[in-house]
Amino acid sequence: MSKIVLAYSGGLDTSVLLKKLILEGNDVIAMTADLGESDASTALSTGSASGDPAAELELVREKAIALGACDAVVIDARERFVSEYAYCALRANAKYEGIYPLSAALSRPLIGALLVETAHAMGADTVAHGCTGKGNDQVRIELAVRALDPSLKVRAPLREHPLSRPDAMAFAAEHAIPLKHTAEKPYSIDANLWGRSIEAGILEDPWNAPPEDVYAWTASPQRRPAEPDEVVVTFEGGVPSFDGDRGPAMIAKLNVLAGRHGVGRIDLVEDRVIGMKSREVYEAPAAVALVAAHQALERLVLTRDELRFKAACDQKYAELTYDGLWMSPLRTALDAFNATSAQRVSGEVRVRLHQGNATVVGIRSPFALYDETLATYGQGDAFDHHAADGFIRLHGLPLDLVARTGKRSLAMDTA
C-alpha cells in the first residue's frame, strides 16, 4: 500500500484510475491543476471568458472525494503556467514542426512539478498519471518528475493495463462514477490557456476533414465577422501585454477576440516522441496571434546574425519542449540566451484579426534597427550608394578567385 498523488482531471479515465488505485488499497490524493482550460472554453458560445471556472473545479474536487480519495486539491497554476512556461516558449517563438504552439506539451512539465510538490507536502512516495503508453504526455510528466525528484515512484496504470473506452464505461457504471462523455463525440481533448487539442475518433483517418463539432474556441468560416478587428500588443522585454494586462486574463481575452475570427485553427499530422505519426487538431487563437506579433517585433529589433542564429535555437527549443525535455539544462541555457535578446524586444505590434488570420500590419519600437532614412527610395536618402561598389568587390572576391582558377583548369583539361 502506498500514498499516491494522482494527476486528476475529473474525466472518465482518471476517475476510473482513482477508483482502481483505491481498490488496490492505496491512499490516493487527487491533484487537479487549473491551467485556465475553462476560462476559455465558454468563450465562443458566450462571447466572453465567463462561466464559473472555480465552481467547475470545485465539482472536480468533490467528485474525487466522493470516489474515495483521501484528499483532493485544486491548484491554481495559471499565473505560473503563463509566466514560467507559455511566455518562455513565446520568447522562443516555439512551434513544433513549425506549426503547433505546444499548448499540451508546455503544461505537462508543470503538472509533473505540481505532482512532485504535492507529494512532498503530503508525504506521498508515489505519483500517478492517466497517460497511455503511446502518447507524448507520459514522457513529459515522467521526465519532469525524474528531473525534480528521482526517488519518487511513478505509476502509469493505463500503461500497466490499457483500458478500452467500453471497459472504462462498464467499470464506471459498476462503481457509480458519473459520466459526462457521450458516445457521439469520442474525441480526446486537452486544453489550457495556450491552446486546445483534439484527437481520436473520426480524426484518426487523416483523409477526414475535421467536423465543425471538434471546435470550441474558434468560429467556423460562416460565423466569422465580416469586418476585421485590430489589437495592439505591447511587448516589454519579450513579455506581451494587451489592454494593460499581461497575465492569464489577457490570454483568455485574446483567445476570445481572435477565436471569433477563427484564428489559430491547426490540423497537423505530427511526429510523436515515441516515433509514430499522429493527427491532431488544435485551436490556439491567442498563442498563434502572440507568436506572430513577437516574431515580427524581433525582426525589427534584432540583428541579422541574432535572427539567423536564434531561428535554429527556436527550432531546438520547440523540439525539447515537445520531446519532454523541458527540465533539461539545454532548455535552461536557451532561456538564458532568449532573456538576453529579449532585452530589446520591446515595442508595439498591430495585429489584424480576420477570416482565420492574425496578420501583423504595423510595428514600432524604440529599439528598431530599421532606419527609414537608409531604406527610403524617396527624398532624404542617407545611404552611401558608392560604398556598395567596394563592398561588392570584396564580398565577391572569393568568387573572382574561383572563377579564375576555374578557367585555368578548364584550359588544362582541353590542352
Q: Which residues of the shown chain bind ligand ARG in the complex (CB under 6 A)?
A: 104-105, 136, 188-190, 197-199, 280
- Single out the catalytic residue among 9, 13, 107, 140: 13
Q: Shortest distance, CB of residue 188 to ligand ARG, whole angstroms?
A: 4
Q: Shortest distance, CB of residue 127 to ligand ARG, whole angstroms?
A: 19
Q: Shortest distance, CB of residue 31 to ligand ARG, whole angstroms?
A: 18
Q: Give 242 or 322: the residue with its C-beta nearer to ligand ARG.
A: 322
> Could you tell me the sign of the dihedral formed by the alpha carbons of 39, 131, 281, 211, in that order?
negative
Q: Give 82 or 105: the residue with its C-beta nearer to ligand ARG.
A: 105
Give the three-class secondary structure for 330: helix
Does the active-site annotation cover 188? yes
Q: Shortest distance, CB of residue 128 to ligand ARG, whole angstroms?
A: 18
Q: Shortest distance, CB of residue 323 to ligand ARG, whole angstroms?
A: 10
Does the active-site annotation cover 108? yes
Does the active-site annotation cover 137? yes
Name beta bridge partners: 197.
190, 282
- Residues 6+ away with beta carbon under 8 Å from 142: 112, 129, 154, 156, 324
- Of 185, 186, 188, 178, nearest in space to 158 by CA: 188
Q: Shortest distance, CB of residue 390 to ligand ARG, whole angstroms?
A: 52
- CA pair distance 363, 250, nearest whole angstrom: 20
Q: Give 32 or 136: the residue with its C-beta nearer to ligand ARG.
A: 136
Does the active-site annotation cover 381? no
Cell numbers at 264, concatenated: 489559430
Give the three-class secondary structure for 209: coil
Q: Give 107 or 255: the residue with its C-beta nearer to ligand ARG.
A: 107
Q: Give 50 or 328: the residue with its C-beta nearer to ligand ARG.
A: 328
Beta strands in 68-130 (DSSP E): 71-76, 126-128
Q: Shortest distance, CB of residue 197 to ligand ARG, whole angstroms?
A: 4
- Single out the catalytic residue among 27, 34, 39, 137: 137
Cell numbers at 352, concatenated: 489584424
- Of 219, 212, 202, nearest in space to 279 by CA: 202
Q: Give 31 or 203: the residue with its C-beta nearer to ligand ARG.
A: 203
Query: Are 317 and 325 within 8 A, CB to CB?
Result: no
What is the length of the chain? 415
Q: Sort 264 into a burial class: Cβ within 10 Å, 0-12 / 13-18 / 19+.
A: buried
- Single out the catalytic residue among 61, 78, 108, 140: 108
- Residues 6+ away with beta carbon under 8 Å from 293: 233, 235, 240, 349, 351, 358, 360
- Single out the catalytic residue among 2, 188, 241, 346: 188
Q: Sort 51 into a burial class: Cβ within 10 Å, 0-12 / 13-18 / 19+.
A: middle
Q: Give 188 or 241: the residue with its C-beta nearer to ligand ARG.
A: 188
Which residues carry out catalysis? 13, 108, 137, 188
